[in-house]
Homo-oligomer: A and B are copies of this chain.
Amino acid sequence: MQDLQQQLDFILELDRLKGVYRQAMVKSDKNRNENSAEHSWHIAMMAQTLHVYAEAPIDLARVTIMLLIHDIVEIDAGDTFAFAAQVDLDAQEAKELDAANRIFGLLPTQQFEEMRNLWLEFEAAQTNDAKFAKAMDRVLPLLQNMKNAGGSWAKHKVCKSKVIDRNKILADISPKLWTYVTEQIELAVDNGWLLNE
């Protein structure tokens, strides 16, 4: 019964991710900020749909779990805007590792280790599964911004070069999606939603 209680404590703790808000806006719900729980659902669904464009073989079930858990650390560490001007990356990384240890650590040992390892694999972005998962996490905000007159890019005056840098992980893992993304970035510049530098 001890394991079950630990698992239920973990499940209830997850509720807090619904209160972590991101820069992305939910256009279909009064253009409010998006929270990290619904974002995690959305990119997991995106992977179900776009996995057919993965160039290397990927394990969709693993990718899906990675996407479901990738933001859980934000319960303690908060969300960092991808294009924030000044972020101490080392400090943020340390905070997220502490968060992973505390939150996944609510679980019985074996599940704790499995989830923490999967999260670490996602963060390292070295395996095909992690690279594809990262790519999903990066492409969805682009789709949202393109649908929303530039969205968080326009609001924070983001440069084209930074968006290219952030999305180029796609080039290897999914050339077809990369082609689409580069076209969209050009279109965003033409529309004045991204700075041309």
Contacts and interface: CB of A to CB of B under 8 A. Distances in A.
Contact of A7 (B11, B50, B61, B144): B50
A125 interface: no
A89 interface: no
Q: How many copies does the complex hold?
A: 2
Interface in A61-86: 61, 64-65, 68-69
B49 A7 contact: yes
A49 B176 contact: no
A147 B68 contact: no
Contact of A29 (B18, B34, B45, B48): B18
Interface in A5-34: 7-8, 10-12, 14-19, 26-30, 34
A28 B16 contact: yes
Interface of A: 4, 7-8, 10-12, 14-19, 26-30, 34-35, 37-38, 40-42, 44-46, 48-50, 53, 60-61, 64-65, 68-69, 107, 111, 115, 140, 143-144, 147, 176-177, 180
Contacts of A69: 45, 48
B48 A65 contact: yes
A55 B176 CA distance: 43
B42 A107 contact: no
Contacts of A50: 7, 11
